[in-house]
Amino acid sequence: MSKPLIAVTGANGYIGRHVVEKLKDAGARVIALDLACSEDEADVLWKRADILDDSLDCSAIFEEAPDALIHLAWRNGFKHDAPTHLGDLSAHYRFVCKMNDFGVDHIVCMGTMHEIGYWEGAIDENTPCNPRSLYGVSKDALRRALELEQTRRGFCFQWLRGFYICGDDEKSQSIFGKLLRAARSGETTFPFTTGKNKYDFTTVDQLAGMIAAVALQDEVVGTINCCSGEPMTLAERVEQFIADNGLSINLEYGAFPDRPYDSPGVWGDPAKIRRVLSAVEK
């Protein structure tokens, strides 16, 4: 059998770099799309592309339709109220539809737990959505729009909900990256929330493995939680990070208020992603 050809948007981003490596390790060929490109290597072809530009011509990028699209590209993912989320929304929708028109019948898109909004307990694919940030509103709207397109067009559609991502922290805009950079610049204290909220933490390497595994199969579809299913308080996870990295910095608890749209405890139901990973391991 020939190696599957997978297109990845945002391929040079925080998550995308890891997804490209996982796809390579799994024996796939990758066309990596980003505004900033790395060097081509065996089974990875880099293409500079602005996927939000309506003039983007798929035939100028691809010699053949990829077997699947993994759409990760998204601006300001750590700035939940950035106006770009709504501003870019229709362009994301048009790009995915354009790729399907070009012949890509397997669409994988990155979503977020923030589509749900305030929720306590486990999130599964049937949990109602009531997002409370522009980021969550926009991701939720894109998912709903593509679900409608899937019923009309019939493509394989997988929407992957990410939870609290950590790892590769030098390049991260998460609290872990900010904490690491603060400690290395000589700061001895770090302003923090109460840290009492419980989240579902997944390393970016684990997440990338889940994304690649989903894209390389079409049996488990729909909304899939990329998660551990095991909640941990933010304070516990951050204190663990400080200890693991030997940082000489203390958290200033209560310096920032907890975000009003974050619940006391929320985590993902991992049943579907476990089915995917079990199938890949066989």
Q: What pTM, to 2 d.p., does this model score?
A: 0.92
pLDDT in tens, 83-110: 999 999 999 999 999 999 999 999 999 9
pLDDT in tens, 109-140: 999 999 999 999 999 999 999 999 999 999 99
Domain ranges of the chain: 5-166+200-229+266-281, 169-197+232-252
Q: Is 135 an annotated catalytic residue?
A: yes
**What's the pLDDT score for residue 61?**
94
**215 confidence band (pLDDT: 50, 70, 90):** very high
Asked whether residue 1 carries a pLDDT value surpassing 80, the answer given is no
What is the CATH superfamily name and number for domain 5-166+200-229+266-281? NAD(P)-binding Rossmann-like Domain (3.40.50.720)
Arithmetic mean of pLDDT over the chain = 94
* Rounded percentage of the chain residues whose pLDDT exceeds 90: 84
**What's the pLDDT score for residue 282?**
64
Asked whether residue 206 carries a pLDDT value surpassing 80, the answer given is yes
| Three-state helix/strand/coil letters over the chain | CCCCEEEEECCCCCCHHHHHHHHHHCCCEEEEEECCCCCCECCEEEEECCCCCCCCCHHHHCCCCCCEEEECCCCCCCCCCCCHHHHHHHHHHHHHHHHHHCCCCEEEEEEEHHHCECCCEEECCCCCCECCCHHHHHHHHHHHHHHHHHHHHCCEEEEEEECEEECCHHHCCCHHHHHHHHHHCCCCEEECCCCCCEEEEEEHHHHHHHHHHHHCCCCCCEEEEECCCCEEEHHHHHHHHHHHCCCCCEEECCCCCCCCCCCCEEEECCHHHHHHHHHHHC
**263 confidence band (pLDDT: 50, 70, 90):** confident
Asked whether residue 232 carries a pLDDT value surpassing 80, the answer given is yes
pLDDT in tens, 48-86: 999 999 999 999 999 999 999 999 999 998 899 999 999
**What's the pLDDT score for residue 138?**
98
Active-site position among 14, 93, 118, 135: 135
Distance CA 232, CA 196 (A): 9
**What's the pLDDT score for residue 135?**
97
**168 confidence band (pLDDT: 50, 70, 90):** confident
